[in-house]
Amino acid sequence: MRTVAEHLAACLEIAQAAPPLDVVLLDAVGCVLAQDVVAPIDLPAVDLAGLDGYAVSSAQVTEASPGAPVVLEVIDAVRAGDMRPMRLVPGAAILIDSGAPLPLGADAVVPWQDSDRGESRVALSRAVGPGDHVRRRGEDVRAGTTVLARGSRVSARQIALLAGLGLHRVRVHPAPRVVVISIGDELVEPGQGREAGDVFDANGHALASAVTDAGGRAFRVAAVPDELRALAETIEDQLVRADMLLTTGGLSAGQGDTVKEVLAPLGGVRFDTVAMSPGRQLGLGLIDGTPIFCLPGDPVSAQIAFETFVRPVLRQIAGRDSLHRSSLPARISIGWHSPAGRREFVPVRLSGSPSRGYTAEPTAQPGRSSLHGLARANGLAVVPEETHTVVAGDSLHCLVLDA
């Protein structure tokens, strides 16, 4: 029997970070940068008006006030993107839009609302100093500055910066493509008719969602029956697009041992009893160089096994520095008996604060499989293998699911 730590180490060993790729910006969303990003230009590239108004020499409006406005000639107008050579002369102002290049000779902008909005002559009723309402060249980013560090996750905010610097491709660890295969004669698709004995495929949907949440790209396959040829053909078909295969079900010790019968002859997959609760039988290996993880069919067991073993692997393949959920100690609200020699994971509802401490209330009776309880949980209390009895008030480390 393997311990949880031993099985996790084996999982992480077979799945290394994917080779980096240069991708266009939209394909980089959700991925992790494989190298530092260095700004190729200043941002802004030139001095820009910070708002709509009049570009002026601040020295000419030092005495301006509502009671004694300064009147200047309006000699031109400049809009965003207008790069005509333009120079301000003494006694003049230039009408300017927010984001437009500041003309030579101007060092400030008088806001539109502090003027009479004149078009040929303008009365300015407020003084400004050098640099007022101006975005200076390079004030946001200087060329040569490392703006995003390797290992950063790319989201919309980072895309805005990359695009603003004129970059259209970036080097990332691509999101791993994970094919999720549910196995079982009894499985039917949610939304379809259900007959006696049928079970809706909760695992396929839940695990595909978990893959996406962990940074992977999920491809869910319709449920496969407990039939050797059907499963073998499905696995063979899916290998061409998968960086990882994830199966759920077909691990029964009785008649439904489909996964072992199909995969064992391939020689690269082993099945172990892992000292954990819920879930015990797990498969792990390589098929033609592609990692495969075989999880139980019970939905709660499958999701807890995913959290424990598969999610860290996905984050490793995606190039993430932090592989594991954050955890915190919490006082348990009730007591129960925990299985001897096994690490138990109990869905709990965490509440509290860093200053007051945290409490954890099980969302279902420990030891019972409850989808409703798991859905209500925001953490997993972890009971060590050597703890056989949990007493109300005991402190356990809890993995935080909704961080």
Q: What is the pLDDT of residue 296?
A: 93
| CATH number of residue 355's parent domain | 2.40.340.10
| CATH number of residue 99's parent domain | 2.170.190.11
Number of domains in the chain: 4
CB atoms inside a 10 Å sphere around CB 205: 17
CB atoms inside a 10 Å sphere around CB 9: 11
- Asked if 312 and 374 sit in the same domain, the reply is no
**In this structure, are residues 97 and 53 in contact, taking their beta carbons and an 8 Å threshold?**
no
Q: What is the pLDDT of residue 261?
A: 84
Task: Give the chain's residues under pLDDT 50.
Answer: none
| CATH number of residue 154's parent domain | 3.90.105.10
What is the DSSP track for 327-366?
EEEEEESS-EE--TTSEEEEEEEEEEETTTEEEEEESS-T
Q: What is the pLDDT of residue 256?
A: 57
Please state the φ and ψ torsions of residue 164, each to the nearest 5 degrees: -65, -25
- Select from 94, 99, 121 the least CA-distant residue to 110: 94
- Asked if 14 and 129 sit in the same domain, the reply is no
Q: What is the pLDDT of residue 312?
A: 95
- Residue 23 neighbours by CB under 8 Å, 6+ apart: 31, 169, 170, 171, 172, 174
- Asked if 124 and 179 sit in the same domain, the reply is no
Q: Tens digits of per-residue pLDDT, 188-198?
A: 888 888 788 88
Q: Tens digits of per-residue pLDDT, 33-45?
A: 999 999 999 999 9
- Asked if 27 and 168 sit in the same domain, the reply is yes
- Asked if 209 and 117 sit in the same domain, the reply is no
Distances (CA, A) of 202 to 182, 338, 369: 9, 27, 13
CA distance 395 to 259: 39
Among 295, 318, 341, where does a domain finish?
A: 318
Token representation of residue 233: 């053909």
Token representation of residue 106: 């101007």
- Asked if 210 and 312 sit in the same domain, the reply is yes
- Asked if 203 and 314 sit in the same domain, the reply is yes
- Asked if 274 and 191 sit in the same domain, the reply is yes
CA distance 372 to 377: 9
- Asked if 343 and 236 sit in the same domain, the reply is no
Distances (CA, A) of 89 to 73, 85, 105, 148, 265: 10, 13, 7, 42, 86
- Asked if 300 and 358 sit in the same domain, the reply is no
| CATH number of residue 314's parent domain | 3.40.980.10
Q: What's 19's DSSP letter?
A: P
Beta strand pairing call for 336-337 and 389-390: antiparallel
Distances (CA, A) of 186 to 100, 256, 287, 313: 65, 11, 27, 30
- Domain hosting 356: range is 327-400
- Asked if 259 and 368 sit in the same domain, the reply is no
- Asked if 38 and 155 sit in the same domain, the reply is yes
Residue type, position 85, single letter: P
CA distance 358 to 332: 9
CB atoms inside a 10 Å sphere around CB 327: 16
